[in-house]
Amino acid sequence: MAIGYVALVLHAHLPFVRHPESDYVLEEEWLYEAITETYVPLLRVFEGLKQDGVDFKITMSMTPPLVSMLRDPLLQERYDAHLTKLEELVEKEAEHNSHNGHIKYLAEHYAKEFSATRELWERYQGDLVTAFKEFQDSNNVDIITCGATHGYLPLMKMYPQAVWAQIQVACEHYEQNFGRPPRGIWLPECAYYEGLERMLADAGLRYFLTDGHGILYARPRPRFGTYAPIFTETGVAAFGRDHESSQQVWSSEVGYPGAPEYREFYKDLGWEAEYEYIKPYIMPNGQRKNTGIKYHKITGRGLGLSDKALYDPYWAREKTAEHASNFMFNRERQVEHLHGIMGRQPIIVSPYDAELFGHWWYEGPWFIDYLFRKSWFDQGTYQMTHFSDYMRANPTQQVCRPSQSSWGYKGFHEYWLNETNTWIYPHLHKTAERMIELSEREPEDELHWRALNQAARELLLAQSSDWAFIMRTGTMVPYAVRRTRSHVMRFNKLYEDIKIGKIDSGWLEKVEYMDNIFPKINYRTYRPL
């Protein structure tokens, strides 16, 4: 009889990046890399576990922008071409390095991986959402939603209609794609403010995830800390992140991904191969970029990229099994300790960005595979669970009011409101005000109806927390600035055209084609609550 629970939670999210107006935009490759390195490897792990009789349980958010992109025919077609180029490149690499046994071995390793990706991709006809839905239908994966465009909710709370739109549009989009309403939500950036749970309850959501201090600073102080969810006064449950188990995985300094046997992320063939050779596989303008083919391992701390030794997947996989065993051992001891103190079954909630597994930490999907297998066969101290199963089995919890919180730097919104990105918020607030104003209008004809709905899309896309996040990290900043400005400018043109009653139908059609997220959106969701 297990005396506790472990809940692994993956947050699968990418901002909505789709540029049909251009033949090539580098940022679209965020999606292609995630498909190849994270989403397909995870599906392959799930299939293997199912095939071997391991009744695994995992919670996984799939955000509306990600689901929309995964189901977009244009992006599916472009990904197919992207994968074809990778397959061609590794085939050339195997031939080109016939004299170098180790590089040839690695090229053949990648060739097998890409071949397996191709097989799964074609089996589902490019629709990976259907693949994940199958595991939800079998109750192995508890798929939860997120804000419609990952908008940072505490910084729009002065406009409750804007917060409501992020929640309602997300729930409607989820139901359209998964065939039932969502039960839970990963709050964007785990950012919570007091009163948000009322909207979550009104939307039919039963639980949400917040960072640990959102629970620890709740009122009254929760008796069991983060090791049991709390119920808010609306009946919506809040789960808190466990810092200890999270850090063991995500930290490249003290966590598993920094092991010297693992693949080095920052040393890529796209930057190292002879220019004329690699030119067909980099950017059309001739600039180098990552290809995803990497031949070196981390090797050791303090070494320059030129000093890295060659990678070996065999030994990396052995190290992954060792780390999965260590994680299991630590959770067993943690559960035993907590059970003795609490006198009831604790739940250890371990949330991570999904792209850590495979994209940033190449061996991450192997770690998940080993962890589920070892937890199933090698121990009986804890039970792997997901949030829906846990809620059904544990319907009684302490009632508290969570504390406002977020994850990231300092944990109280600083990462999304600082000197690098503060300029965007007056624009977003004014746009929200104008959208609430537009929501009261009745459309004169179908063209006005389309314009009003497109205005709602543009506001949602402008509100994506990804743009503020990118401005703060200092990477790809011009793109984030351009996206924020373009959506606000498109909204403002729509607003002015609607106000004067003259819609530019040709321009509207182009914008609808470019920003085609939420095809069934209803602008009236912004009406006063």
Cβ atoms of 373 and 49 closer than 8 Å? yes
| Residue 18 DSSP symbol | -
Q: How many CB atoms lie within 10 A of CB 410?
A: 8
Confirm if 8 and 369 have CB atoms less than 8 A apart: no
CB 157 within 8 A of CB 140: no
Q: Is 189 among the residues known to form the active site?
A: yes
258 in a known ligand binding site: yes
Dist. CA 238–CA 401, nearest whole Å: 10
User: For the CA atoms of 121, 124, 129, 130, what is the dihedral angle to 10 degrees?
Assistant: -160
- DSSP annotation string for 38-100: IIHHHHHHHHHHHHTT----EEEEE-HHHHHHHT-HHHHHHHHHHHHHHHHHHHHHHHHTTT-
How far is the CA of 440 from the CAs of 263, 289, 423, 529, in angstroms? 55, 47, 28, 12
End-to-end CA distance of the chain: 48
CA-to-CA distance for 358 and 34, rounded, in angstroms? Answer: 8
Are 164 and 199 in contact by the 8 Å Cβ rule? The answer is yes
In a 13 Å sphere around the CA of 47, the CA atoms on its Cβ side amount to: 12
d(CA 371, CA 321): 8
Q: Are 2 and 16 in contact (CB under 8 A)?
A: no
407 marked among binding-site residues: yes
Tokens 């990229």 belong to residue: 305
Q: Which of 353, 389, 433, 512 is catalytic?
A: 353
Read off the tokens for 146.
């997120």
Tokens coding 401: 């009011």
The strand pairing partners of 151, in sequence order, are 464
Q: Write the single-letter amino acid at 208.
A: F
Q: Are strands 237-240 and 230-231 parallel, antiparallel or unpaired?
A: antiparallel
Residue at token pair 């780390």: 323
Nearest-10 crossing angle of helices 160-178, 424-439: 80
Neighbour count for residue 132 (Cβ, 10 Å): 24
Tokens standing for residue 269: 């063939």
Query: Active site includes 264?
Result: no
Please answer whether residues 350 and 6 qualify as being in contact, where contact means their C-beta atoms are separated by less than 8 angstroms: yes
Q: Which residue has the tokens 């959402």?
A: 129
Catalytic choice (29, 172, 189, 497): 189
Cβ pair 261, 297 in contact under 8 A? yes
Which DSSP category does 305 fall into? G
Omega within 30 of 0 (cis) for the link into 182 = no
SS3 call for 207: strand
Binding-site residue numbers are: 241, 258, 407, 466
Catalytic residues: 189, 353
Binding-site residue numbers for substrate are: 241, 258, 407, 466
